[in-house]
Amino acid sequence: MSSRVADEMPRLSFGTILLRILCVLLVTVLLVAVLLYSAMFVVCKGPSETARNLGVRTARETSAMYWLPNLFLTDEEIAAIEKTQEITVEETDTSLVSVKAEPKPAEGHYTDEWGYTDDDDDGIILVNVPGQTYTGYMMIVLDPSRVVLGCNTATIGGRGYTVAEYISMFDAVAGINGGGFDDPNGKGNGGMPDSAIVSDGVIYCAGKGIGPGFVGIDTNDILHVGFTSLEELTERNIRDGCGYGPILVSNGKAVDDSMLVSGLNPRTAIGQRTDGAILLLVIDGRQPNSLGATYADEAEIMLRFGAVNAMNLDGGSSSLMWFQGKYINNNASVIGIRPIPTSFVVLKEGVRG
């Protein structure tokens, strides 16, 4: 009886199955759209000015949802929320950094003066960074000479590369994403930096200037922030660097919070301690367990880890950290890992003298 009933049940055609799947997807997309619209309406029109400002800044910093606040607020209102005070640029005081030779203890594992231990003696210390609205990772590279700009100067303007591809290209062991890039309508190929870059002492894309922020490592392995002109790249003997911003820490002091207005998003940053160690930070965002961090959060983290100078790099869907053969953080992009024009990679020990 049951076998006959089963045999007599109508079989759905491929077209019918496909139509039902498309209907489910359409309903799902509509529900997500309604949810986003409702959430932004509550944020923009609710009683909390703080929540409104944070929500607007968060959306405006994304390439896919930057338009959402415009449904509820005028251009003038949005401009007022996004307005920041201009950061006073100070030239980097190189005397605050004394680059030390990478320690090689005869017994046990090296522990730095901040209490972090190089458990596997590879010159790299990885630390989990939890916060109220985020989770992330801080990579401490004890020898700053190992950190260089990962880019392919022969293909600038063509297709960009992923962090993993730059790691392979430079036969490196770790790395993070770097500076910004031209991305018209969010459909760019990640191949053209939006400011000048420096690779192995040579300046590329000089016509684009240094943008609102630039970070560079000089030939003495000291990290600089606070550039005001393209000429300073040569004057300060910068060997590797790229542009983005804003500056987070300058000469041992965090930039004032009023100048670091931002939302909650994935973040990437680079800094340097007094002993020369390079700090590479990546914060996850746009996830249930990690909404993201603000610029002020980044500055606080960098100071906590001993940074004397630090700058924010490209964030959002670009924020990635590669270590021990894989990405160790969660990519926020819904379309997969995006190609980028620059990264900061960590070379194998002994590659640079």
**Is the peptide bond between 184 and the residue preceding it cis, with omega within 30 degrees of 0?**
no
Q: Which of 325, 226, 217 is nearest to 277 (CA)?
A: 217
Give burial (CB, 10 Å; 0-12/13-18/19+) of 160: buried
Alpha-carbon gap, residue 302 to 299, rounded angstroms: 5
In this prediction, residue 351 carries a pLDDT of 77
pLDDT of 152 higher than 80 = yes
In this prediction, residue 33 carries a pLDDT of 64
For residue range 17-32, what is the model confidence (pLDDT) as tens digits?
A: 777 787 777 777 677 6
Look up residue 222 and give its two tokens. Answer: 């000291």
| Confidence tier at 5 by pLDDT (50, 70, 90) | very low
For residue range 241-300, what is the model confidence (pLDDT) as tens digits?
A: 999 999 999 999 999 887 888 889 999 999 999 999 999 999 999 888 999 999 999 999
Of 52-56, 138-142, 337-341, give the range with the top mean pLDDT: 138-142
Give yes or no for a contact between 67 and 201, defined as CB atoms under 8 angstroms apart.
Answer: no
In this prediction, residue 46 carries a pLDDT of 66
- The helix (run of H) or strand (run of E) holding residue 38 is helix 14-45
pLDDT of 4 higher than 70 = no
